[in-house]
Amino acid sequence: MAAYLPIVFFALAAVGMVSGAMIAGRFLRPTPVQSRGKLEVYECGIEPRRDARQPFSVRFYIVAMLFLVFDVETIFLFPWAVQFQQLALFGLIEMFIFVAILLFGYFYAWQRGALEWV
């Protein structure tokens, strides 16, 4: 596991850099009195009328669900790809069946219009 340690160090260093720069900036930047209008969200100069937490297009959920299926699939593909030259024809057929089941669902979703955006 020692090989993974540098990744952790780098992740910590990145967070450290962001917080360091924010703290250093605190001594440099001006801190004028904040007015209510200044702290409002940007809406092209008009006072925002409603909260941004509103319902949005259901298509984004569909994309997220399709992505989940495909992404889990690719996780299975990675170790298979590494061992592919040993698994040879058996591995190829096995994976073809596995992907074919997924593709069935994919074409079903396509046919039902889940991939249409207009």
Partner 1 sequence: MSTELLIQYGVIPIIQILVVMIVVLTVVAYGVYAERKILAFIHSRLGPMRVGPWGLFQPIADGLKLLMKEDLRPSVADSLIFVMAPAILMLAAFSALTMVPFGEGTTMFGYEVPYVIADVNIGILAMLALSSLSVYAVVLGGWSSNSKYPLIGALRGAAQMVSYEVALAFTVVATLMIAGTMSTVGIVEAQRELGAWFFILQPVGFVIFVICMVAETNRLPFDLPEAETELVSGYFTEFSGMRWAFYMLGEYAAMIVMSCLAVTLYLGGWLRPFPNSELTAFLDVIPGPLWFVLKGFMFMYFFMWIRGTYPRYRYDQLMTIGWKVLIPISIANLFFTGIIILLVQAAAG
Which spans of this chain sit near partner 1 (rule: CB under 8 A)? 3-11, 13-15, 17-19, 21-22, 24-26, 28-32, 36, 38-44, 48, 51-53, 56-57, 59-60, 63-64, 66-67, 70-71, 74, 77-78, 81-85, 88-89, 92, 95-96, 99, 103, 106, 110, 115-118
SS (H, E, C) the chain: CHHHHHHHHHHHHHHHHHHHHHHHHHHHCCCCCCCCCCCCCCCCCCCCCCCCCCCCCCHHHHHHHHHHHHHHHHHHHHHHHHCHHHHHHHHHHHHHHHHHHHHHHHHHHHHCCCCCCC
- Give least dist CB 94 to partner 1, A: 11
Choice between 81 and 108, CB closer to partner 1: 81
Choice between 92 and 108, CB closer to partner 1: 92
